Structure 1
């Protein structure tokens, strides 16, 4: 009899907890209605911009939220929120939601610029694939601690036009040989462009004798010794690169245009479906293919975060929850829309939701999950500033 009473009490408490959680989210929805969310996000891709416009229209119709896309660099957002904190602006901040990851997340977390843990309150967080996608929990070796919501998966990939190249280089060493055989036809974006810095990190991973050191902070590490093979490689590459290594593209979209024009033979992206999306939009010919290096390439998760002083934090949570929904994630994963891989587990979805992903049409430029399986973890965030500054010292003109 006593056991039944105890079980009854526990069941009542569990049901009350569920009810309170539901009321809490209902209250969030109510408070969010009528709020305006300033979403600070990179604006360098028309496909991504269009997707954000679609999301803005959906949250307006469903939740009465106005979503304004502020096209901004994440590093600039960090500086702005930090300046607001220094000025004592602890509420009514200018940023409600920011697209972020890596060193920018680490900086915001360290400086106390983020809202307290919140993503576990999102109903759609239950779909997140924490079991098989560890980068949703660790951002550049920094624990996420529910302070940013995963939005999409990313992995460095390379692209080539099969009409011009039969066998693309499958490592940085092979890329140098390829560049020497095709002078003026290989390049990479200039750091501190995210894509240029990623290229440096990939090369460092492949060329340094002990890449395991990259998981640690640069403090206490002989960075000169670790990175010397990288600078030797770049010296040789620049000697035969596009524009003789004196000028570099600004970002990946510019690289893609150079590939389309035939000015370079290799391009890169941090979206495995970028080529498929560009083909669908007529930005690249259908003969373009995607590949990764044989030893794997850097991969991570990108997130959205809420600053500590956001003026519309409830609406920002509702937007983040919508971006995590199977519906929004399936649309984002479609190469004809964006092609950004999902952070969700299909096994946690209903059969109908799984069909949304199964019905996505992919083309020959899309790699299979097996081909993308070799993912290298991001180095510790401290390596980013060192690599960017040292590159500027050596090569910026």
Structure 2
């Protein structure tokens, strides 16, 4: 190759690297240096006091350790953040955006990814990625590959709650749950869809009962629905007569069910946090003796993530924040039921006591190793809710 051709090749590679920031990676030390003095506007749901307090604690630690200012922009619905990022794109605001970091998963991530509105890949380049438990669904978000565009922050998994003195041997399969309900009529139920926990309970059953579970990883089709929903309806038709109020009415939420559990009206409640029992005991909201359990074949779960918009003003500092959130110390503090009780995405067995102390996740936490089943494709949620409401929704 002659000198002129070589010069053009070098220029071309330089231009390509500048256009595709994921190709040429700065060292972590460079990123930390760039981050110093920056402010990160972290858009995250602000509806829970424990979560807000944890983010405030993390902000103080990040300021002390990295000289990064973390400002929690409390939002009621992450879809509003997505719309703001989209609006900035339409207005040509391709840098200095208003969002530096966003707490996200599911349909909101799918939307931003499909519209190329996220920075990355960067997540697996974080130093603390080494501690992540990759056997958990940390590389898929509601069946959508994350492709390094978001870093895992915590794990949620459908979990049943009961009192050990009343339910010493918990149901470990849908068939066991049916037999339990038949033995204890009126003491079992689930929230009415489209309440989140009710819909998730339906998805749990569908994942376990569907004759063609591979269909659930793809967008719904009339054929896929016809193949899989009859097994769910057959099961629910048998279960409903033994539910609270004979399945003619349903609680409006998981919180209502947990109150009914504490009052003795129900024997089993439901949550999407495997540490919820420990949280409730630690917060003195229920008496000791509550515990979590799940089906031995697995329980539906997902991971919630942190993502950086493509036009973030402080992207280096946002990476520093995400890396801190993945640190064993930050994950252990978050998992503490007296703090937040959010399940970790780290491989706890690989962490030395000097790195993290997860010993507080004891009384009331879900016992035993329960596999996590990945969420179906997001399109199944609405399809399942509509079908359930058409078939059973004439009650309250």
Q: How does the TM-score come out when normalised to structure 1?
A: 0.80
- Taking the aligned partners of 2:107 and 2:191, their CA distance within structure 1 comes to 19
Measured after TM superposition, the shift of residue 194 of structure 1 is 3.5
- Taking the aligned partners of 1:293 and 1:183, their CA distance within structure 2 comes to 20
Task: Give the conservation status (yes or no) of the 8 Å contact 1:60–1:67.
Answer: no
Structure 1 pair 57/389, CA: closer, same or farther in 2 (3 Å)?
Answer: farther
Match of 1:26 among 32, 36, 39: 32
> Following superposition of structure 1 onto structure 2, how do residues 3-152 of structure 1 map, counting pairs within 5 Å?
21-30=27-36, 33-41=37-45, 43=47, 45-62=48-65, 63-86=67-90, 88-91=92-95, 93-130=97-134, 133-152=135-154
- Taking the aligned partners of 1:308 and 1:393, their CA distance within structure 2 comes to 41
Count of residue pairs brought into register by the alignment: 370
Task: Give the conservation status (yes or no) of the 8 Å contact 1:42–1:72.
Answer: yes
> Following superposition of structure 1 onto structure 2, how do residues 352-367 of structure 1 map, counting pairs within 5 Å?
352-353=354-355, 356-357=356-357, 360-367=359-366
> Following superposition of structure 1 onto structure 2, how do residues 240-389 of structure 1 map, counting pairs within 5 Å?
240-242=242-244, 245=247, 247-346=249-348, 352-353=354-355, 356-357=356-357, 360-368=359-367, 371-389=368-386
Task: Give the conservation status (yes or no) of the 8 Å contact 1:52–1:69.
Answer: no
Can you list the C-alpha shifts for 1:159-200, whole angstroms capped at 9, x where unaligned? Answer: 112343343322223323433444443222344443222211
> Following superposition of structure 1 onto structure 2, how do residues 161-200 of structure 1 map, counting pairs within 5 Å?
161-200=163-202
- Taking the aligned partners of 1:19 and 1:82, their CA distance within structure 2 comes to 26
- Taking the aligned partners of 2:296 and 2:28, their CA distance within structure 1 comes to 48
- Taking the aligned partners of 1:178 and 1:233, their CA distance within structure 2 comes to 14
Structure 1 pair 211/113, CA: closer, same or farther in 2 (3 Å)?
Answer: same
Measured after TM superposition, the shift of residue 94 of structure 1 is 4.8
Task: Give the conservation status (yes or no) of the 8 Å contact 1:292–1:372.
Answer: no
Q: Which runs of 5+ in 2 are unaligned?
A: 1-23
- Taking the aligned partners of 1:219 and 1:176, their CA distance within structure 2 comes to 29
Q: How does the TM-score come out when normalised to structure 2?
A: 0.81
- Taking the aligned partners of 2:25 and 2:104, their CA distance within structure 1 comes to 33
Measured after TM superposition, the shift of residue 226 of structure 1 is 0.9
- Taking the aligned partners of 1:314 and 1:191, their CA distance within structure 2 comes to 41
Structure 1 pair 174/128, CA: closer, same or farther in 2 (3 Å)?
Answer: closer
- Taking the aligned partners of 1:201 and 1:172, their CA distance within structure 2 comes to 12
- Taking the aligned partners of 1:96 and 1:251, their CA distance within structure 2 comes to 33
Match of 2:6 in 1: none
Match of 1:15 in 2: none
Measured after TM superposition, the shift of residue 326 of structure 1 is 1.4
- Taking the aligned partners of 2:81 and 2:193, their CA distance within structure 1 comes to 18
Specify the SS of the correspondent of 2:41.
strand
- Taking the aligned partners of 1:203 and 1:277, their CA distance within structure 2 comes to 26
Measured after TM superposition, the shift of residue 242 of structure 1 is 3.5
